[in-house]
Structures are given as structure tokens and as C-alpha cells.
Amino acid sequence: MKLGRREVGPGLPCYVIAEAGANHDRDLDVARRLIDVAADAGADAVKFQTYSGRTLYSTKTPRFDYLGELGARPAHELLDDLALPREWQPILAAHCRNAGIEFLSSPFDRAAIDELDALDVAAFKIASFELVDIPLIEYAASKGRPLVLSTGMATLGEIEDAIDAARGAGSPDVALLQCASLYPSPPHIMNLRTIPTMAATFGVPVGLSDHTLGIHVATAAIALGAQLLEKHFTLDRTRTGPDHPFAIEPGELTDLVAHVRDVEAALGNGVKRGPSDEERVEMYAKARRSVVAACAIPAGTRISREMLTVKRPGHGIAPKLIEALVGRTASIDIDDDDVLTWEML
């Protein structure tokens, strides 16, 4: 699939989405700095969220215990206080263009979809909790843009419903993100092996939306074939707000992108070959083992097994052939510790 300027799929570099979420703290300068941090780290996109508390939560919603003191307030009021001011979106999109990074935001209502569509976003990202909102998915898909669907808490049947809705309503491409919907998520519920499972089941690009602490679980997803990776980040984890405590800081985001690229390079093509060109420069000849003289062997001497040993370096006769040397005759004087070659025999 195409996401802005990037192709996403098997064998291509993982598409890294730096999730700013609500970590702008309703400060435009902070939002701009988050974009700059994501661009400097090498992320492909920075993502915000477009919602309003009243359209997202019923006023009868129970309090969220995991938010601690923040959860003492009604959810719709808390979300209204955290929401990205919608008039910022064109400003942030322009800042992203200048920084050379894609601007994305998760829409949570139809007005948000319209606003983001007007900004020509590369895709709509649908959050895990909205995966079951088929009318919202259909409306987003009707704009003819790719959809990235998070799948936290979803069954395969619910994922299939969402994909069918997206395709039926006109989305040209769909991608999935494995996700665990806890903040932070303990590693034991991450189930990274569902990444290849969903890729095989649905035939679409699959990645990870990661809410674990640190960057190691996110990096591990690359080895399982993650083609997209989304991770919350913040300027300062000690700030007050629901998304700050489990987010990574700027240096960690830089490390994450670097680790992702290292793992991609390290995976290779799966074909087991001999030494690489880099290994041949020195290590192949000098650090492997060969048959070596265990003592001085004068010319004309019939060689016995006791006269032979195996040591490094490796540019002589291979150790597996040591028994084939027994009974041969030295054609020249061989010094103790000489590496044996066929020309000496």
C-alpha cells in the first residue's frame, strides 16, 4: 500500500508512526516541537488525535480507574480538556511538510474525517476502540484514502467486519496494527505472533501499535514481520496527562528508529551462505582453523597423527582432512607450528 511518499509492504522498510496523541498539552509550541522531534528521529509520520469529549463519550460513562486522580473527572470533560484544538490542524500539517514528515491524525467523528480529508492526509488511522464503529469506518473509507486499523481487543471476526466495511465503502488499501489496549501494556498480553497470523489471514500489511514501556517489544515486532510501527512519545514523561507516563522520550524515539533499521538490516534474506564479503577481508582466513604441525617435521619424514594438530588461522588444509595427511611424506622442512598446505607434502 502507499502511505504518502512511502510504499509499505513485505521487504520494505517499516513505516514508523510517532504517536503524539494528547501529549501536546494544548500548547501549540509543544505540538510543533513534537513534530520536530519525530522528524529528527527519522520517523515517517507524526500522528495526533482529533476528537471532542462530548461526541466521543456518553455523560453516563463510568470513571476510568487506571487514570488515577485524572479518572475522577467524567471522561467527556477530561477529553475536552485534552483535545487538540482543531484550528491547529492546518498549522501542524504545514509544519510537518516543512519538517519533511507526514502529518496524520486519528479521527473520532465525521467532522474530524472531513477536516483531515481537506488537509489531504495520507491515511486515516482508526483507533482500536473505534474498530467496531462500522459506520465511522465506512464514512472514512468513502473518502478514498487508505485506512490503518488498530485491532486491540478485537476478534478475527470483528477485524474481518472492519476490513469488509472499509473495502466496500471505497478505501483503496487497508493495514492492520496488532495492539493491546492497556496503558501501559504488560508484555505478556502483546501477542506479537499475531502479526504474521493476521498478515496470512487477511493479506494486508500488518504492524504493531505498542503501549508497552520502553522500546524493546516494539523493536522485536520487526523480526516478526511488522511493516508498520506506532509508538507514543512525549517531550517529558513526567508531565501530567494520561499519555505521558507510558510514552517514550525523544532520545528513546531516536533509538527506536535506529534499532528498527538495524533489525531490518540484520534479518537478511534467509538464505544461508558462506562468509560475507566483510568477513572474507580478514576473519575467514585468519580466525578459522587449519591443520598445523605439532612439531618440526624434516623433509622426507613420513607423517604420523602425533605430528599434527589443529589451530588457527584458517588458510591451510581443513581440519576435516587431518586423517588424510597421515602416512604422507614431508616434501620440505616443516617448522613447528607451520600451517600445512598440500605443497608441503
Alpha carbon distance, N-terminus to C-terminus of the chain = 63
Axis crossing angle, helix 216-223 with helix 250-267, rounded to the nearest 10: 20
Round the average pLDDT of the chain to a whole number and report it. 96
The band of 61, judged by pLDDT with boundaries at 50, 70 and 90, is confident
Tell me the average pLDDT across 122-144.
98
Q: Which domains does the chain have, with CATH numbers?
A: 12-267 (3.20.20.70), 277-344 (3.90.1210.10)
> Do residues 325 and 308 lie in contact, with contact meaning Cβ atoms separated by under 8 Å?
yes
pLDDT beyond 70 at 108: yes
Q: Quickly tell me which residue has 600451517 as its cell.
A: 339
> Do residues 260 and 215 lie in contact, with contact meaning Cβ atoms separated by under 8 Å?
no
pLDDT beyond 70 at 208: yes
Please write the tens of the pLDDT for every residue from 250-302. 999 999 999 999 999 999 999 999 999 999 999 999 999 999 999 999 999 99
Q: Which CB contacts under 8 angstroms, 24+ apart, belong to 71-80?
A: 77/53, 78/53, 78/242, 79/51, 79/52, 79/53, 80/52, 80/53, 80/54
Dihedral sign for Cα 252, 49, 52, 54, please: negative
Task: Work out whether strand 102-107 and strand 124-126 pair parallel, antiparallel, or are unpaired.
Answer: unpaired
pLDDT beyond 70 at 71: no
Q: Quickly tell me which residue has 514481520 as its cell.
A: 225
- Exposed e or buried b per residue across 217-233, where buried means at least 16 C-beta atoms within 10 angstroms of its C-beta: bbbbbbebbbbbbbbbb
Q: Which has the closest alpha carbon to 249: 74, 16, 33?
A: 33
> Do residues 220 and 210 lie in contact, with contact meaning Cβ atoms separated by under 8 Å?
no
> Do residues 294 and 254 lie in contact, with contact meaning Cβ atoms separated by under 8 Å?
no
Tell the burial category of 282 from Cβ atoms under 10 Å away from its Cβ (0-12, 13-18, 19+).
Answer: exposed
**Which three three-digit cell numbers place residue 75?**
471522561
pLDDT beyond 90 at 79: no
Please write the tens of the pLDDT for every residue from 313-344. 999 999 999 999 999 999 999 999 999 999 99
> Do residues 123 and 104 lie in contact, with contact meaning Cβ atoms separated by under 8 Å?
yes
- Distance in angstroms (rounded) separating the CA atoms of residues 150 and 167: 16
Amino acid, single-letter form, for residue 96: C
pLDDT beyond 90 at 219: yes
The band of 30, judged by pLDDT with boundaries at 50, 70 and 90, is very high
Please write the tens of the pLDDT for every residue from 183-199. 999 999 999 999 999 99
- The single-letter DSSP state of residue 209 is E
Q: Which has the closest alpha carbon to 226: 212, 257, 197, 205?
A: 205
